[in-house]
Amino acid sequence: MPKITSSKKSENRGTNMKRASTISRIIASVIDIYLTIFIVLILIFLLLKWFEDDFVISIFLTLFLISVGMITVLFKDVVDGRSVGKRIFNLGVRELNGSVPSTGKLINRNFSSLFWPKDLYNLLFSNDKRKQGDIRNGTEVYQLENTKSMTKIVMKIVISISVIIVFLVFGIITMIKQDASYKEAIIYIKNNKEIQDKVGSNVDIGFFPSGSISRTNGYGEASFNIKVSGDKNNSLSVYIILVKEPNEKWKVKEINY
């Protein structure tokens, strides 16, 4: 009886382009998802502070922005089959013959991204290493430029992760500094006579505050650790707690330094 053997499908699937590596595809997707989530969270934070006393509008606005983020994921590859993450790694979605898919195919393909655990499983463990959206639409992700050097791949991964961390840190800092509770805390600290006696009359605020802000039905509580300094060349770590009631401004509840 003749021996039956199975062979892998051609790496290039009828085109001279090379299939993208699994790791580059995963990291490119992480970048795309991170950017979408980051932008949506920034918008939610900036817009909700105008409606923090209206629970219904806050919920509606949050759900609307989350829906916009999901729609953005569907449209992320419509420009030449290349999202931001794919452009960083020189990847592109193509038909199996190498042509750019139609906009409809690119959107339909990305529906499977909304169910990412299954796509991740397919990329890691299936024999074909293809997402459900690619199988359904006859598409594939290719390496559009020849990147043979492992050093270049590692550098792109390191740079991408570094950029994500930097954006995350500065995004959190920006959201904190733009919040009304933080602004009220800074006004209170700068006008506090005891703090002025310790550091000097010209109080300077540190760039990297830490803390938390919570809101529920118009009520709020915020706490911050803020480093301050002044013209006496002294520095001070200030811990301040603020509270808020519906339709009222933030008020300082406690301060320690």
Q: Are strands 204-205 and 91-95 parallel, antiparallel or unpaired?
A: unpaired
The pTM (predicted TM-score) of the whole model is 0.64
Sheet holding 91-95, edge to edge: 18-19, 139-143, 91-95
CA 180 to chain CA mean position, Å: 23
**Residue 223: half-sphere exposure toward Cβ, Cα within 13 Å:** 4
State residue 168's pLDDT score: 79
Neighbours of 240 (CB within 10 A): 24
Listing DSSP states for the chain in one string gives -PPP---PPPSSTTSSSEEPPHHHHHHHHHHHHHHHHHHHHHHHHHHHTTSTT-HHHHHHHHHHHHHHHHHHHHHTTTTTT--HHHHHTTEEEEETTSPPPPHHHHHHHGGGGGGHHHHHHHHHHSSS---HHHHHHTEEEEESS----HHHHHHHHHHHHHHHHHHHHHHHHHHHHHSHHHHHHHHHHHT-HHHHHHH-SS-EE-S--EEEEEEETTEEEEEEEEEEE-TTS-EEEEEEEEEE-TTS--EEEEEE-
What are the residues whose beta carbons fall under 8 Å from the beta carbon of 115, sequence distance 6 or more? 132
Kindly state the tokens that stand for 7: 């062979």
In the chain, the N- to C-terminal Cα span, in Å, equals: 85
The CA distance from 25 to 11, in Å, is 15
Pairing of the two strands 210-216 and 235-244: unpaired
pLDDT tens-place values along the chain, 257 residues long: 443 333 334 345 556 788 998 988 998 998 899 889 888 888 887 777 677 666 678 788 889 999 999 999 999 999 999 999 999 889 999 999 989 999 999 999 999 888 888 888 888 898 888 899 999 999 999 998 765 565 666 777 777 778 778 887 888 888 888 888 999 999 999 999 999 888 888 888 888 888 888 888 888 999 999 999 888 878 889 999 999 998 889 999 999 98
Closest by Cα among 152, 173, 171, 154 to 224: 173
Instruction: Name the residue among 225, 219, 226 with its Cα closest to residue 243.
Output: 219
Return the pLDDT at 182.
93
- pLDDT value at position 8? 38
